[in-house]
Amino acid sequence: MNRPLVFLVMALVLGIVGATAWQIDTTLALGLGLLAWLTAGIGILRTWRYNAWVFFCACLMLGFTLTTIERTAIPPHLATLNGKNVKVIGEVVDQPDVRADGVYYRLEVKQLEFNRETLGEKCILRVKIKGRGPVFKYGDVLALQGIVNIPDPPGNPGAFDYRVWLTRQGIAATLSVRDAKEVKVLDRGGSFIFKTALAIRDRLEKIYDQTMTRTQAAILKGIMFGTRGEIPPEIQQAFNSTGLVHILSVSGFHVGLVVVLVLGLLRLCRLPARFTPLVAIPLLLFYAVMTGLGPAVTRSTIMAILLIISHHIGRQQDWPTALALAAAVILATNPQNLYDIGFQLSFVATWGLFYITPKLLDLWPGWHRALALLVAVPLAAQLATLPLVVLYFNLVSPVSILANLLTVHLVALIMLFGGMSLLPGLFYLPLAHWLNVSTGLLTDLFLWLVQWCNSLPGAAWYLPTPPWWVVVAYYICLIGSLELVHRREWQYKLKETFNKLAPDKTKARFALATLVFLIMLTAWFMWPVHNELQVHFIDVGQGDSTLIITPNNRTMLVDAGGWPQELVTARGAGDHVVVPYLHRLGINHLDVLVLTHPHADHAGGARAVLEAMDVGMVLVSPYGLSKEDKVDDGYETVIQKIKSKNIKLQPVRSGDMLNIDPAIAVRVLSPAEKIIGTRSDANNNSLILKITYFQRSVLLAGDAEAEVEEELIKSSGDLAAEVVKVPHHGSGYFAENFFSEVNPQVAVISVGANNRFGHPAARTLETLREMNCRVLRTDKQGAIILTTDGSKWGMQTGK
């Protein structure tokens, strides 16, 4: 076996996957693992000639056992403290993550107290201390008090599962602390090496903070040390869309530049070659510790060390073995790293650089070597990571190669100039300030290029989340195509096979038609057209957002959810929930956005939606367009945003019809005229829509209350619908005969869990129950997705 380590790491990975799929008792896992390694040991002692599969099974059980042990590190009965206020004494065991909304810490609990009772909870908590205040350091032993929270599973299909992410990080729960001033430092501990490395990092980052603008410093700290919490969200999004986000995470690119810089300095100092590893390797390890020892930096550091050692002893490095060794070290330390997106992207990108790049270079023999490398390297990385990026982020970035070509040398210069300013900055800050004038100019140029690439038409395109078999098929086809191009024996065999199958032109055309059919079949699986009406009641918490996908794939979003103050801040349900939901479905364009009324829980996410994608038209209630109308703060900003983007803004009234798709009818039932003088004029002026597809119908009732419902009962003979979006999140303030007039089979209530309004009201639930109507709630079932072909309904829920 040429590369036994690759073989054994594959077994380790299978063991980790197996332990995730089949959870067994820890003692049994330990016993099986011990038996497997005992068998392997006996094989070595008895000198079996071939032990490959024995060791394969031993490594498989090692992965299984390590994963099982890692999972049991989280105390299961911590759930009893969910939502409770507890006192904690613990030690900060990682670098603080400073963000705009607070500071996040990884805290190892030493003592936990609830109701004056001390509990023996030995676990890790993710602590968020809100607001601005003193930032505590690695090794600080803190006494603090806060609310324990174990996140619920996501309510929307495919959404980020925060609870699973915490578990895989070895974190039992989160703890929310109101103010840093209430936290006391009791002691200082931690590893001397880690403490020194992180203290130096803090000191170096402060040099950037004191000598550059806030944005420049945030970008440079991201490039040099992987600190991303202070980067503005819009800039972060530009990096994501252009495929340059890897520059803000310390990875192989950064470690490679550090290696080149260190080796260059050692050569300038004329250090004897035999001492190079003794100096370079500790420096690389120190840089890895300083930048947080994430999977990407650990992988690249291990491979860089192996490269230095192999060069020193005069041996050529075998990149698959080096990559396997790096994976073995990372997974043995924490097997849950296998599911870390950064781990997967780092290893797949490295595989692409080593495997795909040479094959691409062979395809362009006439090109100048430097030019070929400039194109081949980013193209290889993008080909390698494309299915994973689509799987996790639904993103395809056509400008990624251009963006990397324009910025790769610029980033190297930024790192060089930024690094040069650090040493003088430790002793004489004005000198660092003078040096960082150039660094700041380069950083501004870099940001301008990123934003220019992001502004290009089609810079980012979102695809539906593919099934796992499409990802596997992609890699099989990619490797098969590259090998076919470079292996003449494969080409001859394929030609012979094709000649046997298609000896004449007719059969050749038939074979080509079959190939085209298979490609179209694959595309149909990824982008199916079922001629169905889909109604997605998105789980946005205490708010409303309903996505309509018509039989001809036209799209209409009725409200965009909204969290408190989101109309003002433009941060909340829109960018955290609604936009990602649309992207997971591969939606890049909305034909119609409907804002039923000017309340934040319905219109708050609209700004994020308008920023993220093209919108053909916006329909609004007449209420909220005049200055005398009472609207939530920030609604006027949304209206101005619509006008500034030259999107058609259309107020609609009762009787208006929306021609979004000839297969369906969308009718506005209310308001007829602006309604004034009710308990809530904004709610009663909600747009009420009825959607009909053959014999199936849906009523979207906004936040309508009793006054307008009574008018509808008197004036409209068209209230009946099989599905109703219950008005005002299930409020008890509704007209007596409203639900009997609608006579729904299914009632959907969009509501947040444990909301302060007491929604849905007991009266509403009882009324619907008496009608034998099935009640679905987003706080219980998560997103509710109803589909119909015009004859019957299908249903899927997010939980």
CATH of the domain at 770: 3.60.15.10
pLDDT band for position 608 (cuts 50, 70, 90)? very high
pLDDT surpassing 60 at residue 514: no
Whether 186 and 205 map to the same domain: the answer is no
pLDDT band for position 261 (cuts 50, 70, 90)? confident
Farthest-apart Cα atoms in the chain, separation: 95
Whether 619 and 762 map to the same domain: the answer is yes
pLDDT band for position 676 (cuts 50, 70, 90)? confident
Whether 186 and 203 map to the same domain: the answer is no
pLDDT surpassing 60 at residue 403: yes
pLDDT band for position 519 (cuts 50, 70, 90)? low
pLDDT band for position 308 (cuts 50, 70, 90)? confident
Answer whether residue 394 is part of any domain: yes
pLDDT surpassing 60 at residue 638: yes
Residues 451-472: what's their mean pLDDT? 88
375 Cβ partners below 8 Å, 6+ apart? 360, 401, 405
Tokens of 628: 């005398």
What CA–CA distance (Å, rounded) separates 40 from 273? 41
Quote the DSSP letter at residue 571.
Answer: -
Answer whether residue 430 is part of any domain: no
Q: What confidence tens digit (pLDDT) does each residue in 146-162 have?
A: 999 988 889 999 898 89
Answer whether residue 632 is part of any domain: yes
What CA–CA distance (Å, rounded) separates 672 from 534? 28
Q: Please state, in angstroms and as integers, the Cα–Cα distance from residue 602 to each residue in 625, 676, 784, 786, 796, following that order.
A: 16, 20, 17, 21, 23
Answer whether residue 335 is part of any domain: yes
Report percent pLDDT > 90 for the chain. 36
Domain boundary at 71, 95, 127, which? 71
From the centroid of its chain, how far is CA 181? 32
- 594/262: higher pLDDT: 594
Q: In this structure, how many other beta carbons lie within 10 angstroms of the beta carbon of residue 172?
A: 24
Whether 614 and 490 map to the same domain: the answer is no
pLDDT band for position 420 (cuts 50, 70, 90)? confident
Whether 133 and 213 map to the same domain: the answer is no
Answer whether residue 440 is part of any domain: no
Residues 666-670: what's their mean pLDDT? 92
- 3 state SS of 67: helix
User: Cα angle at 109 between 108 and 111, to 5 degrees?
Assistant: 155
pLDDT surpassing 90 at residue 77: no
Q: What pLDDT does 750 receive?
A: 95
pLDDT surpassing 90 at residue 176: yes
pLDDT band for position 643 (cuts 50, 70, 90)? very high
Q: What pLDDT does 453 receive?
A: 92
525 Cβ partners below 8 Å, 6+ apart? 467, 470
**CA-based nearest residue to 219, from 241, 227, 288, 454:** 227
What CA–CA distance (Å, rounded) separates 29 from 497? 49
Range of the domain at 96: 76-190
From the centroid of its chain, how far is CA 656? 40
What CA–CA distance (Å, rounded) separates 743 from 718? 11
Answer whether residue 400 is part of any domain: yes
Q: What pLDDT does 648 receive?
A: 94
177 Cβ partners below 8 Å, 6+ apart? 127, 128, 129, 130, 144, 145, 146, 183
From the centroid of its chain, how far is CA 99? 17
Whether 181 and 300 map to the same domain: the answer is no
pTM above 0.85, yes or no: yes
Angle between helices 26-45 and 52-71 (to 10 degrees): 150
pLDDT surpassing 60 at residue 49: no
* φ, ψ dihedrals at 93, nearest 5°: -115, 15
What CA–CA distance (Å, rounded) separates 600 from 640? 16
Residues 258-280: what's their mean pLDDT? 81
Tokens of 310: 């192999």
Q: Which of 10-24, 69-83, 286-300, 719-733 has the lowest mean pLDDT?
A: 69-83
pLDDT surpassing 70 at residue 82: yes
Q: What pLDDT does 119 receive?
A: 73
Whether 11 and 127 map to the same domain: the answer is no
Max avg pLDDT among 57-71, 108-122, 551-565: 551-565
Is the bond preceding 564 in cis, omega lying within 30 degrees of 0?
Answer: no
Whether 545 and 511 map to the same domain: the answer is no
Answer whether residue 411 is part of any domain: no
Q: What pLDDT does 479 receive?
A: 86
Q: What pLDDT does 628 receive?
A: 84
Whether 60 and 125 map to the same domain: the answer is no
Query: What is the enclosing helix (H) or strand (E) of 398?
Result: none
Whether 614 and 741 map to the same domain: the answer is yes
Max avg pLDDT among 22-26, 94-98, 506-510, 660-664: 660-664
pLDDT surpassing 60 at residue 267: yes
Structural contact between residues 43 and 51, judged by C-beta atoms closer than 8 angstroms: yes
Tokens of 84: 């409770």
pLDDT surpassing 70 at residue 193: yes
Q: What pLDDT does 80 receive?
A: 80
- 557/491: higher pLDDT: 557
pLDDT band for position 605 (cuts 50, 70, 90)? very high
Domain boundary at 133, 156, 190, which? 190
Tokens of 286: 């120190």
Residues 585-609: what's their mean pLDDT? 94
pLDDT surpassing 60 at residue 525: no
- 3 state SS of 772: coil
pLDDT surpassing 60 at residue 431: yes
Sheet holding 696-700, edge to edge: 657-658, 665-670, 688-693, 696-700, 723-725, 746-749, 774-777
Residues 412-419: what's their mean pLDDT? 88
Q: Please state, in angstroms and as integers, the Cα–Cα distance from residue 543 to each residue in 292, 344, 437, 569, following that order.
A: 38, 36, 47, 17
Whether 240 and 385 map to the same domain: the answer is yes
pLDDT surpassing 60 at residue 172: yes
Q: What pLDDT does 579 receive?
A: 95
- 57/790: higher pLDDT: 790
Structural contact between residues 106 and 94, judged by C-beta atoms closer than 8 angstroms: yes
Q: What confidence tens digit (pLDDT) does each residue in 194-244 have?
A: 888 888 888 999 999 999 999 999 999 988 888 887 888 888 888 888 888
Answer whether residue 413 is part of any domain: no
CATH of the domain at 87: 2.40.50.140
- Characterize the bridge pairing of strands 140-149 and 723-725: unpaired
Q: What is the tally of structural domains in the chain?
A: 5
Q: What pLDDT does 502 receive?
A: 53
Domain boundary at 358, 387, 406, which? 406
Whether 741 and 608 map to the same domain: the answer is yes
Structural contact between residues 92 and 107, judged by C-beta atoms closer than 8 angstroms: yes
Q: What pLDDT does 670 receive?
A: 86
